[in-house]
Structure 1
């Protein structure tokens, strides 16, 4: 399997990569999402090979949300990580925006001990903690099975989860965590004052240690 088979686009650093970063998109988006492009540019500038890729449902059709494709999309995350492992001897960092981050986190969590996809750090953007207006429908069941360092980058006005809710959810993760608050940002993490890619990459590299 190669980059074409996961519909991946590579951002290449000047020198030998320190490792590989894999990022995927939200439910209505694709690998062309501006935030993914900016994040991958930032990682490449830091010396990492950064790949933005499409989940299986997006490879099947160019528009529209996922529908009943969670298992296939998590398998797509595993495929992308396998491609990354073939490209580097260094660390592999994986994550994504909203739905893409959730699918990545579920793939890493697995269904039980030792059956999750192995990565070195998770980096999750606008994790969709619950549907807007439905805080009782939490998407946290798998978080305690995550044992790797995990960064949550989240807007303080995100309708998919308030910062205090997100912080409580992050505490469920079995590995070290960091929460990057983007003041005033909604689900798209747009900010006129903060360099969101820089903050997110800084946090991931600190957790990688």
Structure 2
């Protein structure tokens, strides 16, 4: 298993990595998402090896929504995190944006002890306009400290809805609010990668 097998791009730190961060993309995106690139650059600046990688459906097809099964994407995430664990004896952090973050959180729920911290960006708590269709049924099984970086104008879930849902998570949880940001986490006032990495580092056991 290598980075090529997961279509991964590594952002290398200056010295010996403090650990490995594995991040993946949202439903319509890829490893080349500008947000993922900026976050991985920030992790590398902090001394971590950061890898942004494509989910299995994106490896098969360069564009379009997820195809095939979500279970297949979760198998790809487990492969990526397993690869990260083989690269270091230091902490491994994993997560992703939207769909990729949700699937990563499900993998972490199914595999206690797999990662040191779960870092999720724009968690898609429910489809836009359908607040009763919550995607949080696995939260009670998440045992890793979890950081949610969420825009206050995200149509996939309000901060209050998220705060209510994460009460099910038995591990420490931090919600990083990005004022005014929508699902892409664009902000003219906050450096989203900096505040997200700060929160993830603070969550390390």
**3-state SS in 2 of match to 1:144:** helix
Report deviation, 1:29.
Answer: 0.1
Residues 130, 138 of structure 1: 8 Å contact kept: yes
**3-state SS in 1 of match to 2:186:** coil
Report deviation, 1:116.
Answer: 4.7
**Distance between the aligned counterparts of 1:204 and 1:124, measured in 2?**
10
**Distance between the aligned counterparts of 2:64 and 2:180, measured in 1?**
28
TM-score, normalised relative to structure 1: 0.96
Residues 3, 9 of structure 1: 8 Å contact kept: yes
1:117-171 alpha-carbon deviations (Å, 9 max, x no partner): 7111000000000000000100010010000100000000000000100111122
Report deviation, 1:174.
Answer: 1.7
- Aligned counterpart in structure 1 of residue 194 of structure 2, from 198, 204, 208: 198
1:6-56 alpha-carbon deviations (Å, 9 max, x no partner): 000000000000000000000000000000000000000000000000000
**Distance between the aligned counterparts of 2:147 and 2:115, measured in 1?**
13
Runs of 4+ in 1 over 6 A off after TM superposition: none
1:43-81 alpha-carbon deviations (Å, 9 max, x no partner): 000000000000000001000111342100000110001
Q: Give unmatched runs, 5+ long, in structure 2.
A: none
Alignment match, 1:172: 168
Alignment match, 2:119: 123
What CA RMSD, in Å, does the superposition of the two structures yield over aligned residues? 0.9
Of 88-97 and 66-75, the range deviating more from structure 2: 66-75
Residues 113, 144 of structure 2: 8 Å contact kept: no
**Distance between the aligned counterparts of 2:27 and 2:153, measured in 1?**
19
**3-state SS in 2 of match to 1:164:** helix
Say if 1:81 and 1:15 are closer, same or farther in 2 by CA, change over 3 A.
same
**Distance between the aligned counterparts of 1:85 and 1:134, measured in 2?**
37
**Distance between the aligned counterparts of 1:3 and 1:150, measured in 2?**
25
Q: Give unmatched runs, 5+ long, in structure 1.
A: none
Structure 2 counterparts to residues 1-209 of structure 1, below 5 A: 1-110=1-110, 115-116=111-112, 118-209=114-205
**3-state SS in 1 of match to 2:193:** helix
**3-state SS in 2 of match to 1:90:** coil
**Distance between the aligned counterparts of 2:155 and 2:114, measured in 1?**
30
**Distance between the aligned counterparts of 1:183 and 1:41, measured in 2?**
22
